Amino acid sequence: MRRRNEELRRKSFLIFGSPAVGEEEVEAVAATIRSGWLGTGPRVACFEEIFRSYTGARFAMALNSCTAGLHLSLLVAGVGPGDEVITSPMTFCSTANAIIHCGGRPVFVDVDRRTMNMNPTLIERAITPRTKAIMPVHLAGRPCDMDAIMETAKQRNLVVIEDAAHAIEAWYHGTKIGAIGDLTCFSFYVTKNIITGEGGMVTTDREEYADKIKMYGLHGLSKDAWKRYSDEGYKHYEVIFPGFKYNMMDIQAAIGVEQMKRVDKYLARRNEIWARYDDAFADLPVTRPEPPEPDTVHARHLYTLLLDIEKTGMTRDEFQQRLHDMNIGTGIHFISVHLHKYYRETFGYKRGDFPNAEWISDRTISLPLSARLTDKDVEDVAEAVRFLLRDSA
């Protein structure tokens, strides 16, 4: 077995989440630098228009991260000290942290084991007089049950802010994610499907929200303050709100503009890899990702296996380490937020509060899934996983 392990071990380490970046992006960045306009400017405006058109939303506002988008979305929706926001514990900490930064309290509801998304039937019982918003998380690229969530929000007069960090390409019942909730936040972090290195975008149909996010994200300056140094002539700005430094740079936007030209091509490649993984792991002691729900498009951001730790006789962490030893990088998405020290000690959460999220937390592992992967890379991943698990089947 050890000899076979050495035979399958890659010569170079396969980095998890390494993005597909071409010479077009390199040249776009170089052209931006040569232009002398590196900060927020015309390329950001171009990227916003491309993304607005892609999602079908009325407005799109580029920021320096999805976290910034979540924070500002909560602020413009009126979330403040003492307010509660219902969300999923199966997410990255930024979802909960954005709520806390507004002075609010994250209220978690458990997830469905099959979809790994928040269970909408549990939302109603989590609502209190202090509830201000619902923040669904489209985990791994799978759209949440937005019909049920939007109906509950409408009945209870709550704002819906979607965490779509994983869901750029996702569709739900004929509508793009980004054009359903009151506000939707996307990520262009380096591991995402479309990247700008660091970066985010908020979409909305409400002009009031759009104007405030633009203003709050650039120190609270008056609208279009970035134009004050353009060839249109100097314009004085005015501080209307004590805002934040959340704006996107033109250097970042230049990458995003080029990336969006290949968004469909990249999704097609990840679909190919997804299908190859599904075939390779069909007979192993793992649970593969469920197929997309009817009339939806899965963004294919994460390919998550759920390890049958009883059959394999190894923990998820041991399995991850063994893949690492074979030069295969992986990710964990996620350790349920309520299990982390800060949220346990601050809000009193404990193991046992959200059994499904905890069950997933103990078993989930994400395999490399990038349009950059070669067929040989995919084969290496599949063979390594099969080598480690097939004797346990």
Predicted confidence at residue 223, as pLDDT, reads: 63
Q: Which of 260, 295, 317 is the last residue in one of the domains?
A: 260
Is the domain of 235 the same as that of 283?
Answer: no
235 is catalytic: no
Q: Which of 260, 290, 308 is the last residue in one of the domains?
A: 260
Is the domain of 74 the same as that of 164?
Answer: yes
Predicted confidence at residue 92, as pLDDT, reads: 98
In the 3-class helix/strand/coil scheme, how is the chain assigned residue by residue? CHHHHHHHCCCCCECCCCCCCCHHHHHHHHHHHHHCCCCCCHHHHHHHHHHHHHHCCCEEEEECCHHHHHHHHHHHCCCCCCCEEEECCCCCHHHHHHHHHCCCEEEECCECCCCCCECHHHHHHHCCCCEEEEECECHHHCCCCHHHHHHHHHHHCCEEEEECCCCCCCEECCEECCCCCCEEEEECECCCCCCCECCEEEEECCHHHHHHHHHHCECCECCCHHHHHCCCCCCCCCECCCCCECECCHHHHHHHHHHHCCHHHHHHHHHHHHHHHHHHCCCCCEECCCCCCCCEECCCCCEEEEECHHHHCCCHHHHHHHHHHCCECCECCCCCHHHCHHHHHHHCCCCCCCHHHHHHHHHEEEECCCCCCCHHHHHHHHHHHHHHHHHHC
Predicted confidence at residue 221, as pLDDT, reads: 84
Q: Could you list the pLDDT tens digit for every one of the 393 residues in the chain?
A: 565 667 789 999 999 999 999 999 999 999 999 999 999 999 999 999 999 999 999 999 999 999 999 999 999 999 999 999 999 999 999 999 999 999 999 999 999 999 999 999 999 999 999 999 999 999 999 999 999 999 999 999 999 999 999 999 999 999 999 999 999 999 999 999 999 999 999 999 999 999 999 999 999 987 655 565 555 656 677 888 999 999 999 999 999 999 999 999 999 999 999 999 999 999 999 999 999 999 999 999 999 999 999 999 999 999 999 999 999 999 999 999 999 999 999 999 999 999 999 999 999 999 999 999 999 999 999 999 999 998 655
Is the domain of 247 the same as that of 380?
Answer: no
Predicted confidence at residue 237, as pLDDT, reads: 77
Is the domain of 300 the same as that of 246?
Answer: no
Tally of structural domains, the chain = 2
pTM: 0.96
Give CA 100 to chain center in angstroms. Answer: 19
The answer to whether the beta carbons of residues 118 and 137 sit under 8 Å apart is: yes
**Which residue has 């279009």 as its token pair?**
224
Is the domain of 56 the same as that of 176?
Answer: yes
Query: 59: domain CATH number?
Result: 3.40.640.10
Is the domain of 252 the same as that of 289?
Answer: no
Is the domain of 333 the same as that of 213?
Answer: no
Is the domain of 189 the same as that of 158?
Answer: yes
Q: Which of 100, 101, 120, 102 is closest to 110 using CA atoms?
A: 120
Is the domain of 66 the same as that of 194?
Answer: yes
Is the domain of 174 the same as that of 71?
Answer: yes
Please tell me which residue in 11, 132, 154, 192 is annotated as part of the active site: 192
Domain that holds residue 271: 2-19+263-392
Q: Which of 260, 290, 312 is the last residue in one of the domains?
A: 260
